[in-house]
Amino acid sequence: MPKRKPTIANEARIPTMADIARIAGVSASTVSRALAGLPPITEETRQRVAQAAKEAGYAVNRHARSLRLKRSRLMLVLIPNLANPNFPDLLMHIDQAAYDCGYDIMIAHIAVDPHRSDRYVDELLAGSIDGVLLTSNYCPPRILECIAAGRRMPIVRTLSPTPNLDGISGVQIDEVKAAYDVVDHLAKQGYKRIAHLGGPPKEAVAIARKQGWKLALADHGLPSSRDLFIQAGFRIEDGRQAAARISGMPPRPDAIFCSNDESAYGLIAALKEQGLRVPQDIAVAGFDDLSFSNVMDPPLTTVRLPRRDMAELSVRKLKALIEDETENDITVLAHELVVRASSLKT
Amino acid sequence: MPKRKPTIANEARIPTMADIARIAGVSASTVSRALAGLPPITEETRQRVAQAAKEAGYAVNRHARSLRLKRSRLMLVLIPNLANPNFPDLLMHIDQAAYDCGYDIMIAHIAVDPHRSDRYVDELLAGSIDGVLLTSNYCPPRILECIAAGRRMPIVRTLSPTPNLDGISGVQIDEVKAAYDVVDHLAKQGYKRIAHLGGPPKEAVAIARKQGWKLALADHGLPSSRDLFIQAGFRIEDGRQAAARISGMPPRPDAIFCSNDESAYGLIAALKEQGLRVPQDIAVAGFDDLSFSNVMDPPLTTVRLPRRDMAELSVRKLKALIEDETENDITVLAHELVVRASSLKT
DNA sequence: TAGGTTTACGCAATCGATTGCGTAGATGCA
DNA sequence: TGCATCTACGCAATCGATTGCGTAAACCTA
The pLDDT value given to residue A287: 97
Does residue B1 register a pLDDT over 50? no
d(CA A88, CA A91): 5
Say whether B125 and A83 touch across the interface (CB within 8 A). no
Of A39, A69, A63, A71, nearest in space to A30 by CA: A39
How many Å apart are CA A288 and CA B244, to the nearest integer?
29
Q: Is the CB of B36 under 7 A from strand C?
A: yes
Please give the tally of structural domains in chain B: 3
- Kindly state whether residue A162 falls inside one of the protein's structural domains: yes
What DSSP state is assigned to residue B13?
Answer: P
In whole angstroms, D10 C1' to A59 CA is 36
Residues B295 and B180 in one domain: yes
Q: How many CB atoms lie within 10 A of CB A138?
A: 17
Q: Are A174 and A310 spatial neighbours (Cβ–Cβ below 8 Å)?
A: no
Give pLDDT, residue B295: 85
* B82 closest CB neighbour out of A91, A240, A296: A91
Check CB contact under 8 Å for B95 and A108: yes
A-chain residues near B63 (CB < 8 A): 62-64, 66-67, 72, 128
Lowest average pLDDT, out of A194-203, B308-317, B319-328, goes to: B319-328
A168 and A237 part of one domain: no
| pLDDT confidence of residue B2 | 31
For residues B249 and A317, the model is more confident at: A317
**B70 dihedral zone (left: phi>0; alpha: psi -120 to 50; beta):** left
Does residue B163 carry a pLDDT above 80? no
Regarding whether B160 and B237 lie in a shared domain, the answer is: no
Angstrom distance (rounded) from CA A210 to CA A58: 56
A219, A212 contact by CB (below 8 A): no
Comparing alpha-carbon positions, the chain B residue that sits nearest to A64 is B67
Give every CB contact of residue B253 below 8 A, 6+ residues apart in sequence.
Answer: B193, B194, B195, B228, B246, B282
- The lowest-confidence range among A46-60, A78-92, B145-159, B282-296 is B145-159
Predicted local confidence at residue A299, as pLDDT: 94
Residue B15: φ, ψ to 5°: -70, 140
Separation CA A187–CA A179 (nearest Å): 12
**Is residue A227 assigned to a domain?**
yes
Length of chain A: 346
Determine which of A43-52, A163-172, A241-250, B84-93 has the lowest per-residue pLDDT on average.
A163-172
Does residue B227 have a pLDDT over 80?
Answer: yes
Cβ of B92 and A106 within 8 Å?
no
Backbone angles phi, psi at A50, to 5 degrees: -60, -40
Q: How far is the CA of B189 from the C1' of C11 (A)?
A: 81
The least confident of A20-29, A209-218, B119-128 is B119-128
Mark yes or no for CB contact A6/B152 under 8 Å.
yes
Helix, strand, coil content of chain B in percent (nearest 5): 45, 15, 40
Give residue numbers, 31 to 70 of A, with CB < 7 Å from strand D. 32-33, 35-36, 38, 58, 60-61, 64-65, 67-69
Separation in Å, CA of A215 to nearest CA in chain B: 31
Residue A5 confidence class, pLDDT cut points 50, 70, 90: very low
In a domain, A240, yes or no: yes
A94 to chain B: nearest residue by CA?
Answer: B109
> Does the pLDDT of residue B11 top 70, yes or no?
no
- Which nucleotide across the nucleic acid strands is nearest to B19, CA versus C1'? C16
Highest mean pLDDT among A117-126, A187-196, B5-14: A187-196
% pLDDT > 90, chain A? 59
**Inter-residue contact A256 to A278 (CB < 8 Å):** no
User: Which positions in chain B touch A63 (Cβ < 8 Å)?
Assistant: 62-64, 66-67, 72, 128
pLDDT: which is higher, A33 or B114: A33
CA→C1' distance for B326 and D9 (Å): 37
Q: Distance from B237 to chain A by nearest Cα, in Å?
A: 10
Per-residue confidence band for B304, with pLDDT thresholds at 50, 70 and 90: very high
Give the model's confidence band at A165: pLDDT under 50 very low, under 70 low, under 90 confident, else very high.
low
**Co-location of B256 and B276 in the same domain:** yes
Task: Write out chain B residues lying below 8 Å of A105, CB-based.
Answer: 106-107
Q: Which of B180, B279, B176, B280 is nearest to B220 (CA)?
A: B180
Q: Same structural domain for residues A276 and A327?
A: no
Instruction: Tell whether A96 and A44 lie within a shared domain.
Output: no
DSSP E strands: which ranges in chain B? 74-79, 104-109, 131-134, 155-158, 169-173, 194-198, 229-231, 255-258, 283-285, 302-304, 330-333, 336-338
Task: Give the model's pLDDT for residue B174.
Answer: 94
Residue B130 belongs to a domain with what CATH number? 3.40.50.2300
Q: What is the mean pLDDT of residues B98-115?
A: 89
B8 falls in which pLDDT band (50, 70, 90)? very low
Structural domain includes residue A5: no
Q: What gap in Å lies between CA B146 and CA B141, rounded to an integer?
A: 9
Q: Which domain holds residue A136?
A: 71-173+307-333
Q: Is the dihedral of CA B244, B247, B252, B257 positive or negative?
A: positive
Across residues A120-148, what is the average pLDDT? Answer: 84
What radius of gyration do chain B's Cα atoms show? Answer: 27
| Domain shared by A182 and A231, yes or no | yes
**Looking at beta carbons, which residues of chain B come within 8 Å of A72?**
62-63
When comparing pLDDT for A69 and A127, which is higher? A69
A296 versus A257: the higher-pLDDT residue is A257
Q: How far is CA B145 from CA A3, A168, B110, in A?
A: 14, 46, 20
**A57 in Cβ contact with A50 (< 8 Å):** no
CA atoms within 13 A on the CB side of A110: 24
- Helix, strand, coil shares, percent, chain A, to 5: 45, 15, 40
Q: Which nucleotides of C are covered by protein (CB under 7 A)?
A: 7-12, 14-20
- Listed in sequence order, the DSSP H helices in chain A are 17-24, 28-36, 43-56, 62-69, 86-100, 116-126, 141-148, 175-188, 204-219, 236-247, 261-273, 307-323
In a domain? residue B283? yes
**CB of A18 lies under 7 Å from some atom of strand D:** yes
Residues A166 and A181 in one domain: no
Higher pLDDT, B46 or B165: B46
* Helix H or strand E segment including A134: strand A131-134
| The predicted structure's pLDDT at residue B164 | 58
Burial of B333 (0-12, 13-18, 19+ CB in 10 A): middle
Do A186 and A299 share a domain, yes or no?
Answer: yes
B108 and B97 within one domain: yes
Nearest nucleotide (C1') to the CA of residue A68? C15
Classify strands A155-158 and A169-173 as parallel, antiparallel or unpaired: parallel
- Domain assignment present for B8: no
Nucleotides of strand D under 7 angstroms from a protein beta carbon:
7-12, 14-20
Backbone φ and ψ for A56, nearest 5 degrees, come out as -85, -5
* Whether residues B164 and B131 fall in one domain: yes
Q: Least CA distance to B65: which residue of chain A?
A: A63
- Compute the half-sphere exposure of residue B318: CA atoms within 13 Å on the CB side of its CA: 32
Q: Has residue B13 got a pLDDT over 90? A: no
pLDDT tens, position by position, B65-94: 999 999 999 999 999 989 889 999 999 999
Across B75-79, B223-227, B266-270, least confident range: B223-227
| Residue pair B64/B31 in contact by the 8 Å Cβ criterion | no
β-partners of residue B254 are: none
Give the span between the Cα atoms of B199 and B212, in whole angstroms: 13
The dihedrals phi and psi of A274, each to the nearest 5 degrees, come to -85, 5
Please check whether strand C approaches the CB of B28 to within 7 Å. yes
* Bond from prior residue into B279 cis (ω within 30 degrees of 0): yes
Hey, CA dihedral for A127, A128, A132, A136, is it positive or negative?
negative
Q: How far apart are CA A301 and CA B131, in angstroms?
A: 44
Residue A4: how many CB atoms within 10 A of its CB? 11
Of the partner residues B10, B88, B291, the one whose CB lies closest to the CB of residue A88: B88
Q: Which of A139, A123, A94 is nearest to A316 (CA)?
A: A94
What pLDDT does B5 receive? 29
Distance CA B111, CA B115 (A): 10
Give the per-residue pLDDT at B57: 85
- Does residue A314 sit within a domain? yes
Torsion of CA B79, B85, B89, B92, to 10 degrees: 50
Give yes or no: residues B202 and B297 share one domain: yes
Q: Which of A60, A95, A114 is the last residue of a domain?
A: A60
Q: How many CB atoms lie within 10 A of CB B129?
A: 23
Q: Which of A95-104, A115-124, A293-302, B199-208 has the lowest mean pLDDT?
A: A115-124
C-alpha distances (whole Å) from A5 to each of A8, B142, B155 are: 10, 19, 20
Number of C-alpha atoms within 13 angstroms, CB side, residue A90?
33
d(CA A343, CA A302): 9
- From A11, A72, A240, residue closest to B63, measured CB to CB: A72
Q: Which of B101, B295, B325 to mutate to test the interface with A (most CBs of A within 10 A)?
A: B295
Domain for residue A4, yes or no?
no
CA closest to D12 C1', residue: B29
Q: Are A105 and B106 in contact (CB under 8 A)?
A: yes
**Residue B210 above 50 pLDDT?**
yes
Q: Which nucleotide is nearest to B65 (CA to C1')?
A: C17
Angstrom distance (rounded) from CA A127 to CA B263: 45
User: What is the per-residue pLDDT across A70-118, written as a single tens digit (0 to 9) for each?
Assistant: 999 999 999 998 988 999 999 999 999 999 999 999 999 988 887 788 8
What are the backbone angles phi and psi of residue B240, rounded to the nearest 5°?
-60, -45
pLDDT mean over B112-125:
80
Return the H-helix or E-strand segment holding A255: strand A255-258
Nearby residues of B187 by Cβ (< 8 Å), 6 or more positions away = B194, B216, B217, B220, B222
Answer whether residue B167 shows pLDDT above 80. no
CA distance B229 to B25: 76
C-beta separation of A332 from A208 below 8 A:
no
- Under the banding of pLDDT at 50, 70 and 90, the label for residue A1 is very low
